[in-house]
Structure 1
């Protein structure tokens, strides 16, 4: 993982801390101003590593406890 990716992971977690609700990956990508494909890959990795869970395709993501 490079520094840019690490910064993006922290940015994602900060978005959830501010929002206090599930977010769609399209919302996250828009707020972070990154391509949808980059955001999707980042979120899938965070799910695989146990940092986020996917509520459903149309309901978004949320941090794990």
Structure 2
């Protein structure tokens, strides 16, 4: 369908890098094709009025970032 997955990460460790995340996930048995195509580090997860993660906001923020 042309879509790729993106992992949004709220990390307290500023030294965390996508390469280290990929290595960690592979060491736990995750297949290469299941790894996220992209890692995005954010300060906090946006929430809906019901307190759930607002996926639409995440998608639109990423789309805006990719189009710039």
Under a length normalisation based on structure 2, what TM-score does the superposition of the two structures give?
0.25
TM-score by length of 1: 0.26
- Which is greater in Rg? 2
